[in-house]
Amino acid sequence: MQIVGIALVSTFLALLIKEQKPNFAFLLIAFVGCSIFLFLIDQIYAIIHMLEKLAANANVNLVYVQTILKIIGIAYIAEFAAHITRDAGEGAIAAKVELAGKILILAMAIPILTVIIETIINMIPST
């Protein structure tokens, strides 16, 4: 509820400020967006810690879990940056940020995909 309240108040303030000082309105929105992200850091850490514990209990290699968490992090950060860039009126740069995020995700996923493909191939009986 706090995040929703902060977001609504800052949106109304930005709308009021936008007519007189559009640069300040953008800075306000960017600052509030970063503040909300920082507010969620503790929850993100708790989720990561829980997933690592689950992986350790299930005897899953932590390298794979950490890689998946990095992929998720890249997706969220790229989306956040793209939204901020779009808010600044730079849709073309936002599209490039999204493309870069997708390419980084694909590059990080290749080792996991390789293991999955090798596992499937080993499961297929030889003729």
Q: What CA–CA distance (Å, rounded) separates 75 from 49?
A: 19
- What is the predicted pLDDT for the residue at 30? 86
Average pLDDT, stretch 58-70?
Answer: 87
Average pLDDT, stretch 14-40?
Answer: 87
- What is the predicted pLDDT for the residue at 1? 84
- What is the predicted pLDDT for the residue at 61? 84
92 — pLDDT class (breaks 50, 70, 90): very high
Q: What CA–CA distance (Å, rounded) separates 86 from 60?
A: 39
Given a cut of 80, whether residue 43 has pLDDT beyond it is: yes
- What is the predicted pLDDT for the residue at 125? 82
127 — pLDDT class (breaks 50, 70, 90): low
